[in-house]
Amino acid sequence: MTLPDILPLLQQTFGFQVEILNAQIVNQHDDYWVLIAELSDPALTVVVKIAGENAPLAHDFDRTALLYQLVAVQTRIPMPEILAVGVFDSWQYLIKEHIPGVEWRSIYPQLDAAQKQGAYRQIGAAVAQIHAMTYPAFGEIGGDEAINYVEALQERAKMSIKNPRLQDIMLSVIEQHEALFREVRDASLCHEDLHHGNILFTDAGELATILDFEKAWAGHAEIDLARMEFWDGMVGDGFWEGYGGVPDALYAQRRPIYQLLWCLEYAAPTERHLRDTRRLCEQLGLPAVVSFD
């Protein structure tokens, strides 16, 4: 499908006098677009997210907007102002303030050891603030069903992993290692997508913002930490100091399970991804996953 005309949407939000000086698509999937648009009258730059009914993931932009607002209120992380959210001609949309910044993946190679340590300390402190947002129960934020963490993790696997064979593998791993998760009690906000592109820094080396809370849920903080440790360059010297310490002793045993969940969810048929998945299978005593078909 083609990108819908965003000018009527912007006129509905800002008035018929608004003009688009420049617009750039920064993310695109089937029936889903993210644009940065520079406007005049009012003079501001906004991020516009648009999702149609055939978008690859279900998008609840009202929920996303609420999470941005909660993080803005309950942490010191700079967060964009949500300017509009709703439905326009059957398209879901979210319009937010654009916070300029450089993706961590781009700024990381430019830093010396001391600068990296300072940046990692900032990342650790920001993640700790997110995890300090606690909830009375695991699962969907604001949900009224009280379930234990094992059940919540199983539901998360069912929702995240689309391939039935891979989903069965993950559910069996959770069941096999249920004892590791049985005593987990503390539900906190988990971002679930803290990769290199969702953490921005200013040119001066200060944390600019954290993006994309669409996948966030009330889980256990370790799931974010495990995935960050799995991804290249996301955890380094200074991170744990900023975070406020390392997780408990059982984290080392739960970590490969969280990492396998991400591998089976993402399921990219690249040599690197398959190699990493096979390594986790070996670590967990599982038959090797040789393909994601």
Q: What is the DSSP string of 28-81?
A: EETTEEEEEEEEETTTEEEEEEEE-TT-SS---HHHHHHHHHHHHHHSSS--PP
Residues of the chain falling short of pLDDT 50: none
Q: Where are the domains of the chain?
A: 7-97, 102-283
CA–CA distance, 11 with 118 (Å, rounded to integer): 42
- pLDDT per position as a tens digit, 64-77: 999 999 999 999 99
Fold annotation for 7-97: Phosphorylase Kinase; domain 1 (3.30.200)
pLDDT for position 120 = 98
pLDDT for position 1 = 55
CATH of 102-283, one of 3.90.950.20, 3.40.50.1220, 3.90.1200.10, 3.30.360.10: 3.90.1200.10
pLDDT for position 56 = 73
CA–CA distance, 154 with 256 (Å, rounded to integer): 16
The length of the chain in residues reads 293
